Amino acid sequence: MAMSPAQRFKAMAQANLSAADVSGEQAAPRPETGEAATEYGLLMAELQQDLHEISALASQELKSVEKAVRAPKYDVHIDAAIAAMDENGKALQDEIFTRLMVWHFDIGNYDRALQMGEYVIKFGLQMPPKFERTPQAFITESLADLAINAQVTKIEFPLPPLQKCEQVMEGLDMPDQTRAKLHKALGYGFQNLADKIEKKEVETEVAGGLIAAKQEALRHFQRAFELDKFIGIKKEIERLQRQVPT
């Protein structure tokens, strides 16, 4: 029986791992010869063509639309890479994987982006060329900036991805200002949750209800201020301090 595309990509990923000298905590360079290397090279060439065509667009909105349209064709490779990493506990450098992680942030597919981000960090995958930040700094700042910008434009941003990001980034090194942005975004997330509880727009309240949501918002805002005194949330802290019992 012929292999499905998913099975074929997984077999290629396994073959690449077998052909490479993978040791230590960092992902190894990819093999340059063999059927698996050829397969990867063809997909990489397709991605480079997509990148070229998208970069030629002037509109950021159109760029995001094109990324959303083109991203699914790389899902089989991503899923195969994840399966291979899970089974082997090792990884190879993979620009297709890291490029698509960036794309998924750009198109608002936060759950997929964070899933991939965990693997990038765990297996020491390098960010694509010209990305100067570490993976943890890039992931944290990208998500936090999206959430903060959504707050400014009064667009609802989901709280769970921010909570997941905080969990994944616990103990990892990054600039204080970057982590401060994440706490600021979390503060807004819990503040918005508190507002929805007050307006009875949520079916079930978080444990502790309205006060707990406001306490969490205050805690995150205060932590953001500790990390960056210029983060711009003094008014939020003062307002919540008047509302939350000490």
Q: Are residues 17 and 98 in the same domain?
A: yes
What is the pLDDT at residue 88? 83
C-beta of residue 182 within 8 angstroms of C-beta of residue 167: no
Q: Are residues 105 and 182 in the same domain?
A: no
Please provide the DSSP assignment of 119-160 as one string.
HHHHTTPPPPTT--S-HHHHHHHHHHHHHHHHHHTT----HH
Identify the residue with better confidence: 61 or 4: 61
Give the tens place of pLDDT for each residue, 98-115.
Answer: 999 999 999 999 999 999
Q: Are residues 141 and 154 in the same domain?
A: yes
Residue span of the structural domain in which 124 resides: 1-128
Q: Are residues 33 and 116 in the same domain?
A: yes
Q: Alpha carbon 127 to chain centroid distance? A: 12
Which amino acid, one-letter code, is at 192?
N
The overall average pLDDT reported for the chain is: 87
Q: Are residues 1 and 107 in the same domain?
A: yes
User: pLDDT tier at 3 (50, 70, 90 boundaries)?
Assistant: very low
**CB-CB neighbours of 217 under 10 Å:** 26
**CB-CB neighbours of 187 under 10 Å:** 28
Would the pLDDT of 5 be above 80? no
**Domain closes at, from 80, 97, 128:** 128
Would the pLDDT of 150 be above 70? yes
**Domain closes at, from 128, 158, 182:** 128
Alpha-carbon distance 177 to 31, whole Å?
38
Lowest-confidence range among 9-13, 74-78, 133-137, 224-228?
Answer: 9-13
Q: Are residues 123 and 141 in the same domain?
A: no
Residues 6+ apart with CB under 8 A from 92: 16, 17, 20, 22, 27, 28, 29, 30
Q: Are residues 90 and 169 in the same domain?
A: no
Count of domains forming the chain? 2
Tokens encoding 194: 């508190």
Q: Are residues 151 and 102 in the same domain?
A: no
Q: Are residues 101 and 167 in the same domain?
A: no
Q: Is the dihedral of CA 76, 46, 114, 65 positive or negative?
A: negative
Q: Are residues 141 and 183 in the same domain?
A: yes
C-beta of residue 86 within 8 angstroms of C-beta of residue 74: no
What is the pLDDT at residue 224? 96
C-beta of residue 79 within 8 angstroms of C-beta of residue 5: no
Q: Are residues 2 and 65 in the same domain?
A: yes
Q: Are residues 155 and 175 in the same domain?
A: yes
**Domain closes at, from 128, 144, 173:** 128
What is the pLDDT at residue 20? 56
What is the pLDDT at residue 28? 79
What is the pLDDT at residue 97? 96
